[in-house]
Amino acid sequence: MIGVLSSALLTALSMPGMFWGGLIWIALIPLLLDLQKGGLWKGTLKAFFFAYAYLMICHYWVLPVLSINVPEVLSSFPPFVGVLSFFLMGVLMAFSFLGFGFLYKLYAHKFSESLVLSSLFTASLFTLFDWLRSLGQLGFTGGSLADAFTNQKGLLQLSSFGGPYLLVFLVVFVNAMLAYAIKHWRKYKALFIFTTLSMIFALNMLIENFLPVPLDNPLYDKNIAAIQTNIPQSLKYNESPQEVYKIIEKTLEKVPEGSFVVLPEASFLYDIRKSFIGSKLHELSKERNLTLLIGFPTAEDGEKYNQLRLLGPDGFSEEFYAKMKPTPFAEFLPYPKLFGLFKFMRFLDFFSPGETPTVFEVGDQRIGAQICFDSYYTEVTRDLVNAGSYVILISTNDGWFSFRTGLVQHLSKAVLRAVENRRYVIQVSNTGISAVVDPYGRVLKRLPIASEWQADYVIGDFHYLPRADRSFYTEHGDWFVYVLIAIAFLMIVGGLFL
């Protein structure tokens, strides 16, 4: 188990906000060497414990959210439930790796005589089960090995062709090769390992140095006034919404007239369209010719949504974007017949998932907006780009997070989505990180977070260049996953006759 725990620690340390992404190229070696020992069930459990340990370590910041921050605001959510929820979350995230361990132990030895076939089988199998954990109502992509590429901008560009799972495959393939070389030390020697790693880092640096730099063009340059509020959850949930309105009113009086203004997710916790606050915001937008993109919950045709909606001089828009991936248990109850007892865990209310990738038209801007953890799911951004958006906007409320690590990991998903779809991505957050990312994954501008700037709000002037082209990955989606399904199937079937 030492190898399992070593790999778990190294993998966790390679995640954004932890230590250094370059560790990912050696992180899995102890695990793969350890998996070659013991029987079928022992190997199956080793794979699960690896995934459980590394996902718990890199998501350590969720524990105080669930056990301290949420109970302080919601009396219906006691601390012990938060602790229990955290450890159960790890089980759900790591569950699919039982399948990886099981099939690996059954078939990997059949390819043990070939460096390439052994590495291909291991990488294909691992990537497929990592993909499986993103599916369904409980799917989640936090802690993906692809996240380690956010500070390896050169190789990150591969995701515009094959998406994040091409990156996962590449990482596991290299780790499997190096583990094979260590096991067959007399044949491959240390030079093989040193050369392989040197080539990877050199290639990353080479590509990064030649990445295009989008040039400013006054004819096409667009700007967005990003309002990063620093409003604690206790104020939102327990105080009068007038207190929140006072803060937002101050910000709107300071942005230039005629601005397009983006506010964070759930700026208000109720439907403000026919309220006093809604009418005041409407008056302010008319006086200063502002168009706001603002988040608040609504009920439409009997369905409740966590949504974003435009508010301009003509009032609230009819069209809206509803969060497509509500947070399990906090915002919706997955598989009610199975998890019905957990409905008390909801934060504000249970919401229905959105079904339409709404693109907002503001003048000649086509804005593809999404909410919070929508950015963790590749298909949400891809659908928005395919629907015609020229820029991606992430409106989020990160007010629950106490540790910077959680904020960095959230922003890392914006970096991945930007490169995959070759779009500028702008994230606007409450208490979290608000930033603009270019189509090659470079963070061009970032606002100071609440711990760096003791103020109720920060206003950011974010510029971007609209893009209408589509990457190969945007057009074809997770095609690489289906290639891996075919490879794994053929190798398993072929292994039956070896």
The catalytic site residues sit at 265, 323, 372
Residue 402: exposure state from Cβ atoms within 10 A (0-12, 13-18, ≥19): middle
Which residue type is seen at 133? R
Rounded Cα–Cα distance for residues 200 and 206 (Å): 10
DSSP state of 158: T
Rounded Cα–Cα distance for residues 98 and 106 (Å): 12
Rounded Cα–Cα distance for residues 139 and 478 (Å): 16
Note whether 257 and 497 are within 8 A (CB).
no
How is residue 494 written in tokens? 């072929």
The structure tokens 């302080």 sit at 72
Note whether 272 and 281 are within 8 A (CB).
yes
C-alpha dist (Å) from residue 262 to 165, 290, 294, 309:
32, 10, 6, 10
Beta bridge partners of 224: 462
Indicate the Cα dihedral angle 202, 208, 211, 213, nearest 10°. Answer: -150
The structure tokens 């078939």 sit at 107
Rounded Cα–Cα distance for residues 229 and 458 (Å): 6
Listed residue (481, 393, 495, 482) closest to 164, CA to CA: 481
Q: What share of the chain is helix, strand, coil (3-state, %, to 5)?
A: 55, 15, 30
Q: Cα 378 from chain centroid?
A: 8
Spell out a b/e string for 93-127, using b for 16 or more CB atoms within 10 Å of the CB, else e.
bbbbbebbbbbbbebbebbeeebebbbbbbbbbbb
How is residue 251 written in tokens? 């910000």
